[in-house]
Amino acid sequence: MLTTSPRRSRRTTVTVAAAAAVALLAGCSAGPGETSGGEFTGEYDGPAVTLSFWNGFTGGDGPFMQELVDQFNEEHENITVESNTMQWSDYYQRLPAAVTAGEGPDVGVMHFDQLGSNAARQVIMPLDDMAEQLELSADDFTEAVWDAGVYADERYGIPLDIHSLAMYYNTEHFEAAGITEPPTDAESFQAALDALQAAGYETPFWMPSRWPAHLMFLTLDWQHGGEPYAADGTAATFGDEAGVQSLEWMRSMVEQGYSPADVAQDAQYVAFKNGETSITWDGIWQFNDLDASGLPYAAAPIPAIGGEQAAWASSHQFFLPRQEDPDRINAAKVFIAWMSEHSADWAQAGMIPARQSVRDEGALEGTPQEPLAESLDAMRFIPTTPGIGTVQTETVEVAVAEGVLGQGEPAAVLEAAQGTATQLMEENLEAFGE
């Protein structure tokens, strides 16, 4: 999870760190436009190599990734992949310095919103040549997830999956309340909440003030027709009318008594898992945990509260750090290509394979995420802008918490946060040389 710190001190740290990272890395490799290694044929016949694979799959998804790595190793005599798994926050902090010191991974996977920062810092290499040689194109992906791997007109990420926010509901509670279908819009969602309360479930939808509250807010913002950020990464726009309507709706869940006040981070998920509440919005990465709990539940797309079907989404994407050894680069490309082709198995981790061709082969058949994959075109991504993760932590997450807790009017807290976010984005663009 992300944490916050005083705005001014954190902002200064981020800007200085970004500038320092650019300065350190600028001289160690060629700049944007270079190709990643030599000609790639899809096979590796060089000397035996052992590749370090960095990832942050520390939860229930970890064993599934390790199974894939083990299978790859069994099928490749001259390539051995060793996983180095750590918390995502540690991962993103360590990566730039490790690559600079020549102690980074040979291949890795990261969230798409980290690609821009690491590309601008010249930590990772363009992969346009690899995508072309593998004949990977937008035809096999949704436009949003394919474009999410691009920064400054160059491809830095090969999409592995899509993971979004979803609506989970307790099927026993729904049956007791006489609800036969999951709600799909504002009217049916309100009717479901009223029916659940009438059936004795006093607070059927807990509204958190922290994680994943800002993901819920972004979802609602898109549903109301808004865009939280300018596409070119120059400004925040989440404080417009769409944003205000979104945060007002979130606060209304508390004011109307559907949620307790002051729901702490992840408390809404724990309450749902324990049967204390009937509906929650959370990431699809919770499927395996809920299955293990034995809770009677089902999942559906987030209802179109704002009128338009939309949901926050993210994507794990493979990347290559900057390195010089062509054998290791090409062996790493073989690994990425193999993992992309075998991403059907990754669906067992609760994710949606990014490739349409993989999904068409039945990768999601019978899985909880199958109905969600029918709404892939409604899944939205924030821009791949350097430093966007920190911007969100410092601004929109704080504003959403204040609004949900009733510590400020939604319009006022969003306006203040939007101004700070735009200033941070401008500073980041300047620091990264744009």
* 321 and 204 fall within a common domain: no
273 vs 29, higher pLDDT: 273
Query: Residue 24, class by beta-carbon neighbours within 10 Å (0-12 exposed, 13-18 middle, 19+ buried)?
Result: middle
**Rg over CA atoms, the chain:** 22
- Tell me the two tokens of residue 207: 């509204």
pLDDT at 28 over 50: no
How far apart are the C-alpha atoms of 266 and 269, rounded to whole Å? Answer: 5
Is the domain of 209 the same as that of 260? yes
**Helices 241-255, 396-405: inter-axial angle, 10-degree rounding:** 40
Higher pLDDT, 338 or 32: 338
Exposure of 294 by Cβ count < 10 A (0-12 exposed, 13-18 middle, 19+ buried)? exposed
* Number of domains within the chain: 2
pLDDT at 434: 59
Q: Is residue 422 part of a domain?
A: yes
Q: Is 35 helix (H, G, I), strand (E, B) or coil?
A: coil
Q: Do 238 and 266 share a domain, yes or no?
A: yes
**pLDDT tens digits for 312-371?**
999 999 999 999 899 999 999 999 999 999 999 999 999 999 999 999 999 999 998 998
DSSP string over 112-152: GGGHHHHHHTT-B---HHHHHHTT--GGGS-HHHHHTTEET
User: Tens digits of per-residue pLDDT, 406-419?
Assistant: 999 999 999 999 99
Single residue among 361, 380, 399 that ends a domain in this structure: 380
Give the pairing of strands 154-155 and 107-111: unpaired
Which CATH number goes with the domain that contains 340?
A: 3.40.190.10
pLDDT tens per residue, range 216-258: 999 999 999 999 999 888 999 999 999 999 999 999 999 999 9
Q: What is the mean pLDDT of the chain?
A: 90
Same structural domain for residues 246 and 186?
yes
Interacting residues of 147 by C-beta distance below 8 A, sequence separation 6+: 138, 381
The token pair that represents 212 in the structure block: 């994943």
- Give the pLDDT score at 6: 29
Cis peptide before 368 (omega within 30 of 0): no
Q: Structural domain of residue 153, as residue ranges? A: 49-163+314-380
The backbone torsions φ and ψ at residue 303, rounded to the nearest 5 degrees and listed phi first, read -60, 150
The rounded percent of the chain whose pLDDT value lies above 90 is 79
Q: Which residues neighbour 194 within 8 Å (Cβ) at sequence distance 6 or greater?
A: none
Q: What is the pLDDT of residues 188-219, one digit of tens each?
A: 999 999 999 999 999 999 999 999 999 999 99
194 plus 81 within the same structural domain? no
22 falls within a domain: no
pTM of the predicted protein model = 0.87
The verdict on 285 and 390 lying in the same domain is yes
Question: What are the two backbone dihedrals, phi and then psi, of residue 90, each rounded to the nearest 5 degrees?
Answer: -65, -40
* Confidence check: pLDDT of 20 > 60: no
Residue 149 pLDDT > 50, yes or no? yes
In a domain, 43, yes or no: no
Residue 41 located in a structural domain: no
pLDDT on residue 357: 93
Kindly state whether residue 20 falls inside one of the protein's structural domains. Answer: no
Q: Identify the band that residue 431 occupies on the pLDDT scale cut at 50, 70 and 90.
A: confident
Question: How confident is the model at residue 5, as a pLDDT?
Answer: 29
Give 38's pLDDT tier (boundaries 50, 70, 90).
low
Residue 21 within a domain: no
Both 304 and 321 in one domain: the answer is no
Q: In whole angstroms, give the CA distance from residue 56 to residue 92.
A: 9
323 and 336 co-located in one domain: yes
Q: Supply the pLDDT for residue 59.
A: 84
**Helix 88-100 with 7-26: angle, nearest 10 deg:** 40
Shared domain check, 230 and 157: no
| CA atoms of 322 and 302, how far apart (whole Å) | 39
CA atoms within 13 A on the CB side of 123: 31
**Which DSSP category does 309 fall into?**
-
Residue 19 has pLDDT above 70, yes or no: no
Query: Does residue 234 sit in the same domain as residue 99?
Result: no
Return d(Cα 126, Cα 118) in angstroms, integer. 11
Task: Indicate the DSSP class of residue 285.
Answer: G
Per-residue model confidence (pLDDT) at position 29 = 39
Q: Is 322 part of a structural domain of the chain?
A: yes
SS3 assignment, position 255? helix
From 360, 380, 400, give the residue that closes a domain. 380
Same domain, 218 and 135: no
Return the biggest CA–CA distance within the chain.
Answer: 69
Task: Examine the domain organization and report whether 326 and 285 are in the same domain.
Answer: no
In a domain, 2, yes or no: no
